[in-house]
A and B are shown apart, each in its own frame.
Chain A
């Protein structure tokens, strides 16, 4: 049974976003209980690459959140042990002159917004990535992009929150919200009711189902992606390397399959190859066709990978919103309920800032970022 005494805040979801919310709230002295129907990092968090990216974001609210998060992640990496924080940087490459022009224009706008973005001439690409295809048109280097091991990051944040008194209840499913009129006053779970002053919905691709328990519509849909994993290699890929058309694929509203190569090495040796996007619900079927396309796109960037074995593949589901922005903050339609969800493929990167903004909201402080672009009622 869950302890019957009320918590200040219940966080639904033990992924990296819920973990970051719990950690920020616990540090501000609140009693926090995190509930998840599965294990820590059992959803999107555990199926991604742990990217902390600014390179793939156009100037706007998401980039501002990413910049805030990047700063906060640096502090978290200093404070928490072994989350495998690696400021590896990204190299975005273009394979044609028009693609390069578009990439350089994007980079110029990003620089105006405070992002470090250095153009790299075609002849200089090999200095960054010696194995890169030799016929590319050029690229842009983003030194601030970083990575954490996402499952470790979620686990360490939760462990640090528990050191501050937070409770973690895995394998406890929320079946309803406790309400007093419109106000949310806790959660109903299969292990009993848990009353709280506030409830944070960090349920990832299932956040819409949690919202519906309060009679609220939150259009969050799963967007499937596969990652292909090679056998362990020496460091053949130094940065996160991706094609300039990746940003267009991310920003697309198309439900059909899109593939855009994203290639990066890992500390353990395997190279990770993404990315694919398709809206097919929570269908977990492995698609050999998608894997084949991922492999071909990666070989286009790094021909050396043609002679390397892929040893496995995995898939995950990004929590997609129709305008590609996360949902962060109190829901005016249901006092006591806050949302921290809908981060699509950027949830690890954006988690640190999201947790910070949620903690500010719970305390009624003015948030460091304008939350209006992220407001939950914008879809109504």
Chain B
């Protein structure tokens, strides 16, 4: 049986040791965040944890770097809009 995490509720398979970002790219998902100012699409850029472009929500925590976050079974991963903290807007 293949291990999977969920991206917006849909299962994404991954191999042991793979990062969330690598698993997403392997599944054909190239973009999972929109920028704060222009709403432009973002995914992996540097791939080594330095550029903070590949931010994603993991189990409710925004701004997680997909490229270095290990994939784990049953993680609730969600696309991130802007800063990922829209709930704090007043």
Contacts and interface: CB of A to CB of B under 8 A. Distances in A.
Interface in B14-48: 36
B83 A236 contact: no
Contacts of B89: 234-236
A88 to B, nearest CB: 15
A309 interface: yes
B63 A309 contact: yes
Interface residues of B, number: 9
Interface in B49-68: 62-63
B90 A233 contact: no
A363 B85 CA distance: 54
A304 B36 contact: no
Nearest to A130: B90
B1 interface: no
A67 to B, nearest CB: 32
A269 interface: yes
A257 interface: no
A293 interface: no
A232 B36 contact: yes
A309 B65 CA distance: 13
Contacts of A308: 85
Contacts of A304: 88
A234 B86 CA distance: 7
A120 B46 CA distance: 48
A370 interface: no
B36 A236 contact: no
Interface string A209-235: 000000000000000000000011111
A232 B83 contact: yes
Contacts of B86: 234
Contacts, number: 31
A131 B85 contact: no
The A interface is mostly helix, strand or loop, or mixed, namely: loop
Contacts of A309: 63
Contacts of A231: 62-63, 83, 85
Contacts of B90: 130-131, 234-236
B22 to A, nearest CB: 23
B53 to A, nearest CB: 13
A122 to B, nearest CB: 18
B39 to A, nearest CB: 14
B40 to A, nearest CB: 15
Nearest to B61: A309
Interface string B76-90: 000000010110111
B83 A234 contact: yes
A236 B90 CA distance: 7
Contacts of A235: 89-90
A226 to B, nearest CB: 22
A309 B88 CA distance: 13
B82 to A, nearest CB: 8
A325 B62 CA distance: 44
A162 B90 CA distance: 43
Nearest to A231: B63
A131 B63 contact: no
B83 A131 contact: no
B10 to A, nearest CB: 26
Interface of B: 36, 62-63, 83, 85-86, 88-90
A-B interface, 9 closest residue pairs, ranked by CB to CB distance from nearest: A130-B90, A234-B89, A232-B83, A231-B63, A236-B88, A233-B85, A234-B88, A269-B83, A233-B83
Given A234-B90, A308-B85, A309-B63, 5 more contacts: A131-B90, A232-B36, A232-B85, A234-B85, A304-B88
17 contacts: A131-B88, A231-B62, A232-B36, A232-B83, A232-B85, A233-B83, A233-B88, A234-B83, A234-B88, A234-B89, A234-B90, A235-B89, A235-B90, A236-B88, A269-B36, A304-B88, A309-B63
